[in-house]
Structure 1
Amino acid sequence: MTTKLIDRYVAVWNEPDPATRRRAVTELWAEDGVQYTESAEHRGRDALEARVAGAHEQFVAPGEFVFVAAEEVLDHHDAITFTTHMVPTTGGAPVWSGTIFLMLDQDGRIRHDHQFTGAEAGTRAAVTEFLTRLADGDPDRIAELFAAAVDWQLDWPEAGHPAVPWIRERSTRADVAEHFRELNTFHVPGARGGTAPRILVDGPDAVVLGDIRQTVKATGRAYTARCALHLTVDSGVITRYHVYEDSLTVAQALAG
């Protein structure tokens, strides 16, 4: 039920037909429902419909952007919180992100709708998108999320390791794509995985805690390495990428 509500909530901002949009607003929000943003409030269905229509006309109708929901959702009792992104229709990193907090009435309609934006919402959005693309494994799409110049650091000896050739200095977006391309060269793409990561956000900085699960192509040997990432996001792109991982396990797996 929660997932369906979020799908309907996001869909109304993308809906081009005024009559369908009006009906969706009526079905989503209570008669006295209200949306609060940091600078305004929109109270009642007429005001909410005008708010949604204005956002659609400005961002979606020209064909440049579309609204989508992130996968991470929290809910209990009559409260739901999730993140929405406004992304280019041609693909790429979110250009805007908001954290949505909904309170529902007894009929399951939205009574209070609080929208939060700011550095932390944007940071979480960029990191979440990075993890999604990391799981997909496309090096060029991963690199799209990075700045032209990157503060790159991996927790390995400065000289690297002969069995792990992708461990070397990187500093550009092209370097990022090459790094993940080399990772794909040495591992089985369909066998990658990991536990659901924990994301901690403080302004433009994020720490991701989890593990990496890979299978070496040459030997068929699977391994799991715990890791932590320190990422910094500026203007929607990743400018710092520091990785602290169980490098011994990785080196042993690749050395056979």
Structure 2
Amino acid sequence: MGITDDTAAFVRRYVDVWNEPDADERRATVAALWAEDGIEHTDANTYHGHTEITARVTGAYEQFVRDGGFRFTLGDEPAWHDGAVTFTVQMVKATGGGPVWAATILTVLDADGRIRADHQFARAAPSNADTRATAEELLRRIGAGNPDEVAELFAEKVDWRLSWPAEGHPAVPWIRPRNTRADVADHFRELRDAHVPQHEFPDPTVLVDGAGAVVLTEIRQTPRATGVPYTALCALRLTIEDGLITAYHVYEDSLSVANALAASGVQDLQQESV
């Protein structure tokens, strides 16, 4: 079920309280979020009422945020129905990078919208090796030219961004907003159909930090329509969670791509491309 504004605000306050530096504000937020007899269950302990839950939140803040240099952030999009809300909380370095810890949170609310029971299911953050393996498999599948197999590596919902103007360009109609796994398959299908069967990533550099990966490479392709081969510098920024790509950001030499695919002069392209 879609999230409401009130529930989205509740989730934000829940995540933010673990980063709250002010003790009085932290205590007040706990009292606003949890019922007086509310309970938090973790893998190791159970915390009853405002006093114990406040001490638990304070201990996490002091250990991980104040002294450890981390921040707690929201992971996936919340979902709710029948008085229950579930979402993911992640712990990341304050200076940036992928999550080093994550947990699925299930909260059961009372009639006043406060937490009656809070269940935390901690899970291992993705290792660098797992993230690297998925990034390298993505490159292999793109090169093999099977759009459906490429799409299998993506989550059902994807944060998809390309370094092109929002209005796109007529020479590259496949470059447009996408946000689902089905959209991903369509994108790579259109990309494949517009080129001869060749998609190379020569000697890519893959940089990994937890769930994040950056791929630095070149794209070498030949459009079917023009027969003019092109090479374009490219960087991919990926977020990989539970073995699936949840964010796909592409930064490429779009002028080279557009010039190779356009049917007429390059002057307009130079003005319109990034």
TM-score w.r.t. length of structure 2: 0.55
The runs of 5 or more residues in structure 2 that have no matched partner are 1-5, 146-194, 221-230, 263-274
Which entry has the higher C-alpha Rg, 1 or 2? 2
Structure 1 residue aligned with 2:258, among 212, 219, 236? Answer: 219
1:149 and 1:219, CA in 2 relative to 1: closer, same or farther beyond 3 A? closer
Which residue number corresponds to residue 109 of structure 1? 114
Equivalent residue runs for 1:112-191 within 5 Å: 112-119=117-124, 122-123=125-126, 146-147=128-129, 150-151=132-133, 152-153=136-137, 154-155=140-141, 156=143, 166-168=200-202, 170=204, 172-173=206-207, 177-179=215-217, 186=232
Q: How far does residue 173 in structure 1 lie from its aligned partner after superposition? A: 2.9
| Contact 2:15–2:74, Cα closer than 8 Å, also in 1 | yes
Which residue number corresponds to residue 46 of structure 1? 51
Q: How far does residue 219 in structure 1 lie from its aligned partner after superposition? A: 2.9
| Contact 2:101–2:123, Cα closer than 8 Å, also in 1 | no
Question: Partners of 1:107 and 1:116 in 2: how far apart?
Answer: 25
Question: Partners of 1:209 and 1:150 in 2: how far apart?
Answer: 15
Structure 2 residue aligned with 1:10, among 1, 15, 25? Answer: 15
The runs of 5 or more residues in structure 1 that have no matched partner are 127-145, 193-198, 223-256
Which residue number corresponds to residue 270 of structure 2? none
Structure 2 residue aligned with 1:19, among 17, 24, 33? Answer: 24
Q: How far does residue 209 in structure 1 lie from its aligned partner after superposition? A: 9.4
Which residue number corresponds to residue 172 of structure 2? none
Q: What's the C-alpha RMSD, in Å, of the aligned pairs?
A: 4.2
For 1:219, give the aligned amino acid: A
For 2:57, give the aligned amino acid: V
TM-score w.r.t. length of structure 1: 0.58
Equivalent residue runs for 1:61-80 within 5 Å: 61-62=66-67, 64-80=69-85
Identical-pair percentage = 37
| Contact 2:204–2:215, Cα closer than 8 Å, also in 1 | no
Give the count of matched residue pairs.
183
